[in-house]
Amino acid sequence: MTNTLDRRTLLRVAGASAGTAVFASTVLAGPAGATGSAFRHGVASGDPLPDGILLWTRLTPTEDSQPGSGVGPEATVTWQVATDPDFATLAAQGTLVTSPDRDHTVKVPVSGLAPATTYWFRFGYADAWSPTGRTMTAPEADADIDRIRLGVVSCSNWEAGYFAAYRHLAERGDLNLVVHLGDYLYEYGTGEFPAGDTVVRSVQPAHETLTLQDYRVRHALYKSDPDLQALHASVPWAITWDDHEVANDQWSGGAENHTPGTEGSFSDRVAQARQAYAEWMPVRTGADGAIYRRLRFGRLADLSMLDLRTYRSEQASGLAIDDPERTITGEAQMAWLKAGLATSDAQWKLVGNPVMISRLDVGALPSWLLGPLGTLLGIPQNGAVLNADQWDGYNADRNELIDHLLATDTRDVVFLTGDIHTSWANELTTQSTGLTNPAAAEFVVPSVTSDNINDFLGLQEGNVLSDLASGLIRSTNPHVRWTELDGHGYGVLEVTPQQCRMDWFHLVDRTQSSTGSRFVTGWSVTAGSARLRRESAPLS
252-271: per-residue pLDDT in tens? 999 999 999 999 999 999 99
**Per-residue confidence band for 179, with pLDDT thresholds at 50, 70 and 90:** very high
Helices 212-222 and 266-280: angle between axes, nearest 10 degrees: 40
- Edge-to-edge strands, sheet with 423-428: 293-297, 301-305, 348-353, 413-417, 440-444, 423-428, 480-484
**Per-residue confidence band for 381, with pLDDT thresholds at 50, 70 and 90:** low
pLDDT in tens, 439-496: 999 999 999 999 998 888 788 888 888 888 888 889 889 999 999 999 999 999 999 9
In a domain, 363, yes or no: yes
Whether 10 has a pLDDT exceeding 70, the answer reads: no
pLDDT in tens, 393-408: 999 999 999 999 999 9
pLDDT in tens, 205-262: 999 999 999 999 999 999 999 999 999 999 999 999 999 999 999 999 999 999 999 9
Number of folded domains that form the chain: 1
The DSSP bridge partners found for residue 483 are: 424
- Report the candidate in 241, 195, 188, 225 with the shortest Cα–Cα distance to residue 510: 195
Looking at residue 385, what DSSP letter applies?
Answer: B
Cβ within 8 Å of residue 505, ≥6 positions away: 165, 168, 489, 490, 491, 492, 517, 518, 519, 520
In a domain, 359, yes or no: yes
SS3 179: strand
Q: Residue 205: is the preceding peptide bond cis (ω within 30°)?
A: yes
pLDDT of residue 30: 38
Whether residue 318 contacts residue 332, with contact meaning beta carbons closer than 8 Å, is answered with no
In a domain, 265, yes or no: no
pTM for the structure as a whole:
0.92
**Quick count: other Cβ atoms within 10 Å of Cβ 311?**
18
pLDDT in tens, 490-536: 999 999 999 999 999 999 999 999 999 999 999 999 999 999 999 99
Question: Considering the chain, what percentage of its residues have pLDDT values greater than 70?
Answer: 89
- Report the candidate in 132, 303, 149 with the shortest Cα–Cα distance to residue 234: 132
**Per-residue confidence band for 6, with pLDDT thresholds at 50, 70 and 90:** very low
pLDDT in tens, 306-318: 999 999 999 998 8
pLDDT of residue 368: 45
pLDDT of residue 3: 41
Whether residue 407 contacts residue 432, with contact meaning beta carbons closer than 8 Å, is answered with no
pLDDT of residue 453: 84
In a domain, 209, yes or no: no
pLDDT of residue 32: 38
CA separation for the pair 185, 447 (Å, rounded): 12
pLDDT of residue 423: 97
Question: What amino acid occupies position 251?
Answer: W
**Per-residue confidence band for 363, with pLDDT thresholds at 50, 70 and 90:** low
Q: How many helices (H) and strands (E) does the chain have?
A: 13, 24
pLDDT of residue 362: 67
In a domain, 248, yes or no: no
φ and ψ at residue 159, rounded to 5 degrees: -75, -15
SS3 18: helix
In a domain, 57, yes or no: no
pLDDT of residue 382: 61
The continuous run of DSSP H or E covering 45 comes out as: strand 43-49
Whether 26 has a pLDDT exceeding 50, the answer reads: no
In a domain, 530, yes or no: yes
CA separation for the pair 278, 273 (Å, rounded): 9
The DSSP bridge partners found for residue 294 are: 304
Looking at residue 495, what DSSP letter applies?
Answer: E
Distance of alpha carbon 324 from the chain centroid: 28
- Give the structural domain span for 303: 291-540
pLDDT of residue 257: 95
pLDDT of residue 459: 83
E strands within 324-389? 348-353
pLDDT of residue 460: 83
pLDDT in tens, 104-129: 999 999 999 999 999 999 999 999 99
**Looking at residue 481, which CATH number applies to its domain?**
3.60.21.70
CA separation for the pair 113, 446 (Å, rounded): 35
The continuous run of DSSP H or E covering 279 comes out as: helix 266-280
What is the average pLDDT score of the chain?
Answer: 90
In a domain, 369, yes or no: yes
Averaged pLDDT for residues 188-210: 90
